[in-house]
Chain A
Amino acid sequence: MLTSLLLSALAVTGQPVAPLAADKVGTQLPVVEIEGLTQSPASSFEELTGRLVLIEFFAYW
């Protein structure tokens, strides 16, 4: 099954394709390790517990 999964990934695009991102809705957020929390009165992610948190992954490019 694994071989066929890899082969079909190659066949469709000619490139190895990324698996669909697993749907995480309904699951517990994993332990968050962050550094350099800025522009926030919180000193750690844990201090945001109990809030509705909108996390956006971004890059400068």
Chain B
Amino acid sequence: MPHLNELDEQYRDKGLTVLALTSEGAKRTEAWIEAKGAKFAYAYDRGGLAKQLGVRGIPASFLVGPDGKIVWQGHPSGVNDALVTKHLEGALTKPLYEWDGAAKKIKSAFLDGQFGKALAEAAKLAEKDPFGEEAGRIVRQVLESRVASLEAAIEKGDVLTAYEGSKALAKGLKGLPEQERVEAITKRISKDKELRAQMKAQEKVLKITAETPRRKKECDAQMDALKKLLKGKEGTFVGGQIEAKVLELFQLKSRLQF
């Protein structure tokens, strides 16, 4: 991992944050970090981010842009200066945790999802400090990215993500033009029987697979329930989710002893 130390040192002040994540235990990880002389930030992936990103082998790297969108993924050997500098544009050189004074109000509202309030505070700050403009720019960029991703979600059939995301995001958008876009998503879903049925099926998938099976019998039970749910949904987004889950359970079953 020396490359991570180098990247961290070289690009930290230009907007890059290096973050290593592991799902292993702390004791051995801490010992390893010390032995390797790692100076970059690291943490424990307890929320299953690796699984959500479809990571099948370690090490694996993802480059996430300032707006929260994944801009590159691959083996760490693929991360080089050209890749990093290509995506540094627009990244905050002053991270949120260094925002002080009036900028703290912007940060607080921003992290709370109160985008309207954050932008108002940024505009106020911009009257006396150019940093207010940069802060406002980042808030706008992140907001646009989140709205666009919800619009993309509903177009590809991920109705549940679109619905829940829109409901959550709408709360902090009062008076902003994005409010209408986000409310249009929830309105569309509420009025469309087919979209609501797809969302219901997605909720059912989550319910069926809520507990990780510990026995082959439990894998079978979940697979059977999912296969029943799949009928008539082949080729849809939720159909793809069901098929992926069944494959996952099939592989898990092969690894279980009983």
A interface residues with partner B (beta carbon < 8 Å): 1-2, 5-6, 9, 15-16, 18-19, 21-43, 45-61
Contacts and interface: CB of A to CB of B under 8 A. Distances in A.
Contacts of A33: 45-49
Given A49-B96, A54-B84, A27 B63 contact: no
Contacts of B92: 50-51
Name the 3 nearest CB pairs between A and B, nearest first: A33-B47, A40-B41, A60-B32
Contact of B58 (A37, A54, A58): A58
A57 B50 contact: yes
Contact of A34 (B45, B69, B71, B142): B45
Contacts of B50: 57
B21 A57 contact: yes
B187 interface: no
A55 B15 CA distance: 14
Nearest to A34: B43
Given A37-B42, A55-B21, 4 more contacts: A26-B70, A53-B16, A55-B20, A61-B24
A16 B243 CA distance: 14
Interface residues of B, number: 81
Given A35-B43, A48-B19, A56 B76 contact: yes
Interface of B: 1, 4, 7, 11, 15-24, 26, 28-29, 31-32, 38-50, 52-56, 58-66, 68-73, 76, 79, 84, 87-88, 91-92, 95-98, 110-111, 138, 141-142, 145-146, 149, 227, 230, 234, 243-244, 246-247, 250-251, 254
Contacts of A51: 15-17, 66, 91-92, 95
Contact of A60 (B29, B52, B61): B29
B58 A59 contact: yes
Contacts of A9: 247
Contact of B251 (A16, A50, A59): A16
A60 B28 contact: yes
A9 B246 CA distance: 13
B117 to A, nearest CB: 16
A37 to B, nearest CB: 4
A46 B111 contact: yes
A28 B62 CA distance: 12
A4 to B, nearest CB: 11
B97 A47 contact: yes
Given A2-B246, A19-B244, A41-B97, A30 B49 contact: yes
A30 B65 CA distance: 13
Contacts of B15: 51-52
B58 A29 contact: no
Contact of A57 (B41, B58, B95, B111): B58
A60 B31 contact: yes
29 contacts: A2-B243, A5-B243, A6-B246, A21-B55, A24-B73, A25-B72, A28-B68, A29-B70, A30-B49, A30-B52, A34-B21, A36-B26, A47-B95, A47-B97, A48-B19, A49-B142, A50-B95, A51-B15, A53-B63, A54-B79, A55-B19, A55-B49, A56-B1, A56-B20, A56-B60, A57-B21, A58-B22, A59-B22, A59-B24
